[in-house]
Amino acid sequence: MHNQLPAPAATLLPHEPPMVYIDRLLEADQDRGLCETRLTPGHMLLDSQGRMDRCAFIELAAQSFAALKGWESVRQGQPFPIGFLVGAHGFECLADARMGDRLYIETVSLGTFEGFSVVRATITRDSDILARGKIKLYVPNAGDPA
């Protein structure tokens, strides 16, 4: 396990490759995380023309928040929390992502109640916002607050 940032996302998530879609957690504090991923040839989210379906932005956001929570768990010596993406609200996909793009995914926890977390996510390439919105996740047995 890594105990300093940036940290490989695969060490912070309960997922196994090739289901790990993000590369690294770059920044983390209690409510905010910043991750990155590079859409390289063979990336699971790319189609045969090297394009990423826009609905994949929501999964990138969910895995980025999971990496933040995984980072917190590792630092506290706890097991990885297992969570479920249960919804999206006002999630806008403003532009496409393609092979070769380096994406940055910022997540900010807006609140947690009885295992449910609402998270604001913004996904950018360079200074362009590609997607943004809120996702809701459920982490069974998660305490209050996150």
CB under 8 Å to 49, separation ≥6 — which residues? none
The predicted-structure confidence for 84-94, as pLDDT tens digits, reads as follows 999 999 999 99
The predicted-structure confidence for 35-93, as pLDDT tens digits, reads as follows 999 999 999 999 999 999 999 999 999 999 999 999 999 899 988 888 999 999 999 99
Q: Residue 112: helix, strand or coil by DSSP?
A: strand
Q: What is the 3-state secondary structure (H, E, C) of 121-146?
A: EEEEECCEEEEEEEEEEECCCCCCCC
pLDDT band at 30 (very low <50, low <70, confident <90, very high): confident
Specify the pLDDT at position 16.
Answer: 85
Q: Which residues pair with 103 in a beta bridge?
A: 37
Give the predicted TM-score (pTM) of the model: 0.92
Specify the pLDDT at position 145.
Answer: 46
